[in-house]
A = this chain, B = another copy of it.
Amino acid sequence: MKSYGQLCAVARALDIVGDRWTMLVIRELLIQGPLRFGELQGGLPGVATNLLTQRLRELEEHGVLVRESVRRSSGSTMYRLTERGEALEGVIRELLKWGAPTVSEAPAESIFQMHWLSQPARYLLKDHRPQEPASTIRFGNFDDGFDLTASDGNIEVRPCSRDAQLRAVVSGPRQVLVGLLQGAIDLAAAIACGVEVQGESAALIRVLPQTGTPSSADQDNSLPSR
């Protein structure tokens, strides 16, 4: 898009990352790590291929990402954020903190992908039992989800890993999961709305926001030995 032509740091940033789809490309690469063209397209439903190409070229020119030819077998190219690109994490974080309250107002036909919840989870969830041993939960499934680890009071999120030691696997309807992570509803209500927790629900409770009313879900049911 055309430059704003202003000698201002905000305008300069928007000259580079202010175009339509651009920040969502950054989001995908921040969440999922290096991706191929098709994978990127999959996380950006509705983007035209020519437009995605154009955005990737522009971001490459500005040093936000790099094209990497994978040498194995054929020349499949990967897109990877540079250090400069990863520095956009702060912008993404502030955008999602601001946008989170409006997710519930999204058009009903909105598309949902579980991995989009990984950054909100990182910022909205906390490890409420720091003294307990590290514990990893999977949200969603391997094809679209993320692994969240609570340890020493910290929360980390990563793309799903084959060899993660999972204490629990969480899945369910889109809107309910969003509300659960934001603390808008508690676990008992979420389960009533169709959320399924396989494994130790205590591992999930450990990181969920505390909702106002200490519900029956708090003392929980069992810790099945896994």
Q: Which residues of A pack against B, CB within 8 Å? A: 1, 3-18, 20, 23-24, 27, 45-46, 62, 87-88, 90-100, 102-103, 105-107, 109-113, 116-117, 119-120, 174-175, 178
Contacts and interface: CB of A to CB of B under 8 A. Distances in A.
A178 B10 CA distance: 13
Contacts of A46: 4-5
Q: Find the residue from A27, A93, A110, A175 having the highest chain B CB count within 10 A.
A: A110
Q: Is the interface of A mostly helix, strand, loop or mixed?
A: helix
A145 to B, nearest CB: 14
A16 B20 CA distance: 12
A14 B91 CA distance: 12
Contacts of A13: 95-96, 98-99, 102
Report, nearest first, the 4 A-B pairs whose CB atoms are least far apart: A13-B99, A8-B116, A9-B96, A90-B94
A10 B11 CA distance: 20
A140 to B, nearest CB: 13
A33 to B, nearest CB: 17
Given A4-B24, A5-B109, A91-B95, 18 more contacts: A1-B20, A5-B45, A5-B107, A6-B24, A6-B111, A6-B113, A7-B112, A9-B97, A9-B99, A10-B95, A10-B99, A11-B24, A12-B103, A14-B24, A18-B18, A90-B97, A91-B94, A91-B98
A115 to B, nearest CB: 9
Contacts of A24: 4, 6, 10-11, 14
A195 B150 CA distance: 52
A3 B103 CA distance: 12
Contact of A7 (B4, B10, B20, B110): B110
Given A9-B120, A10-B27, A3 B107 contact: yes
A103 B9 contact: yes
A17 B102 CA distance: 12
